[in-house]
Structure 1
């Protein structure tokens, strides 16, 4: 990791693309009493802020730098261990240390951020002019879990960037994408589970509404990341095998299963309006989990790209032996040039906002429908809006229990 301006800018941008980082920094402050927290890029020669939560007007913004020799992150980097103290003025080691006196801090914690391959990126750190209890194992463990998650996500970002750079070389692209899938699908599971558990604990804090809100936000973020991992693993299984496998069974009340999906997304998008209509009477032979996933992906896509001031419609019907699931939204139509590409894996429109999905949701929808022997179509116009319609045979043949 060099200290060229281009390299520093690239790393700052990589941290900014990790959507969970702002919530993590706020949780760090609210859960410890610290009023300044940062993700810093640290080398032997530079200390650069990549993300900041500043409640004391410290004056440091992303891209801002400190003399690394005046910081304790340099010591943490050298030892690859956390540096933490609760009250500098009374601490036998740091009472006369130049860093607390220079920056007028009494409490401090800095934890290394290390990529999975062992490369040192920087530190997750927090400071405050007042004393705070930081050295207890629970607080240090929280910082370490957050730092591990950031390090692994940086690795994912680095692999994704490398994949995008190598798009002109099909073989190299395939290899890099397999590496990306391996990291995202396996190595990220354990730290993500740890952070999700922390979010769950914080969300239950009835004594502090602000911390509970941050916990809920962190929980929602980890759930979204888990869904992204599931999408990538589904894609990998389908790619390595003959298609997406389905387990067909007779479902007497598919409507209840689909209503559950709509309810979960309605809770996740309280500001959006979802209008449901069901004409579903009789038994449907399908993989109920996959059909729920199909509706979840289509509805999530509509909520993400539809107009905020217009409702999203869900219309499910069973007619003449065919199950129809239609999801419609208003807003900007899909460009005609993109209609033929939206079901391709890892493809997103160039105008898509950063921080979105991986471009797998609609591809997986197409694979689920295909595995059931059905069709998935889309129409989009400014006047009528956008509508995805999946049609699946309600009675499956013997071959439908295997991958299509």
Structure 2
């Protein structure tokens, strides 16, 4: 604004230029270039009825005076006489939605040829520029306020989720203990079956709580907690994961080829979680009549894990979203989880300085491939 007002004064020879906010009752200077000691500073106000901007506002047209003392319309007007003005120009500043903001104006006690078409065009162009700039600033301010509000809301939501997940553990432990007691009532088969179902539900709920807490830690800035050390029996630990899934899904054909020779430097529990999440995803979304193939091996300097399942290929647009939190495909079955498993798996792999990728096609199936440095 200051640079623009300087240009106006230099090109017109007038000594005072201003951008004013004009309403029914107020005239307020927003920006000022004062080379004639008019005495008005930014934030200063005039009575709107003493200005010609009120008339420009009413007509939504420029008011232009070259020499007020002999102007046929304004020679006897109170504004030029009150402020000792000879030359005057005021152009409305109107937003693109038609809302009136104020005026771009210039005055001088000396006459000036401001009615020239080029001068009026310059003022009109500058007024339009100011209107667009004000709109851009308003949009930016609204966006920043909305973004800050979203950040606060997101942080509160994630803190709530973390607290809720933590507080659910105690009642869940009680349910798990009750399920274990029921499962031991071998003389009452119905109670044993009920206990087994409760134990399975408890394990599933515990996994969901773990996912929620992991997600909250990452999003609240604590990061994925890892305890990386030498793992000598990783192959056995991964086989345990496969066996657990097999036991819970006896109707599925789950095949494994796990051959890890030597020590892998990793968080063994977290690597088990990655494999569990990937197999769980295959169980949920894979074709029940196609096998799920699990592979783990050391290739070069890397630990490579893969889980492959058959079924409907993942659409290309969905592949780009599949590791986003809470995202689930449109055709997901109800009750299929929170949509955090793959996100958490990707965060764990990233925490090990590795990569997790996915490919999907009709013939080769869907394959999740994790590559993690072994040392």
TM-score by length of 2: 0.58
1:92-141 Cα deviation digits (max 9, x unpaired) = xxxxxxxxxxxxxxxxxxxxxxxxxxxxxxxxxxxxxxxxxxxxxxxxxx
Alignment of 1:197-216 (within 5 A): 197-216=177-196
Alignment of 1:81-100 (within 5 A): none
Alignment of 1:19-168 (within 5 A): none
Count of residues in Structure 1 that have an aligned counterpart in Structure 2: 229
SS in 1 for 2:238: helix
- Is residue 192 of structure 2 the alignment partner of residue 217 of structure 1? no
Which whole-Å CA distance do the structure 1 matches of 2:329 and 2:160 have between them? 21
Distance 1:170 1:352, change over 3 A: farther
- Is residue 290 of structure 2 the alignment partner of residue 310 of structure 1? yes
Choose 1 or 2 for highest CA Rg.
2
Contact 2:166 2:213 in 1 (8 A): no
1:323-380 Cα deviation digits (max 9, x unpaired) = 1000000011112111111111111112211112111100011111101111100001
Residue 178 of structure 1: aligned partner: 158
Which whole-Å CA distance do the structure 1 matches of 2:265 and 2:334 have between them? 39
- Is residue 301 of structure 2 the alignment partner of residue 301 of structure 1? no
Residue 325 of structure 1: aligned partner: 305
Shift in Å at residue 178 of structure 1?
A: 2.2
SS in 1 for 2:273: helix
Residue 361 of structure 1: aligned partner: 341
Which whole-Å CA distance do the structure 2 matches of 1:283 and 1:187 have between them? 37
The partner residue of 1:283 within 253, 263, 281 is 263
Which whole-Å CA distance do the structure 2 matches of 1:213 and 1:172 have between them? 46
Which whole-Å CA distance do the structure 1 matches of 2:174 and 2:268 have between them? 30
Distance 1:183 1:259, change over 3 A: same
Which whole-Å CA distance do the structure 2 matches of 1:191 and 1:202 have between them? 17
SS in 2 for 1:392: strand
Residue 321 of structure 2: aligned partner: 341
Distance 1:172 1:242, change over 3 A: closer
SS in 2 for 1:245: coil
Shift in Å at residue 190 of structure 1?
A: 1.8
Alignment of 1:246-265 (within 5 A): 246-265=226-245
SS in 2 for 1:247: coil
- Is residue 330 of structure 2 the alignment partner of residue 377 of structure 1? no
The gaps in structure 1 that reach 5 residues or longer are 1-168, 396-404
Shift in Å at residue 180 of structure 1?
A: 4.5
Superposition RMSD on alpha carbons, in Å? 2.0
Which whole-Å CA distance do the structure 1 matches of 2:327 and 2:219 have between them? 16
The gaps in structure 2 that reach 5 residues or longer are 1-148
The partner residue of 2:174 within 178, 194, 198 is 194
TM-score by length of 1: 0.54
Distance 1:179 1:394, change over 3 A: closer
Moved more, 203-212 or 323-332: 203-212
Moved more, 187-196 or 335-344: 187-196
SS in 1 for 2:250: coil
Residue 109 of structure 2: aligned partner: none
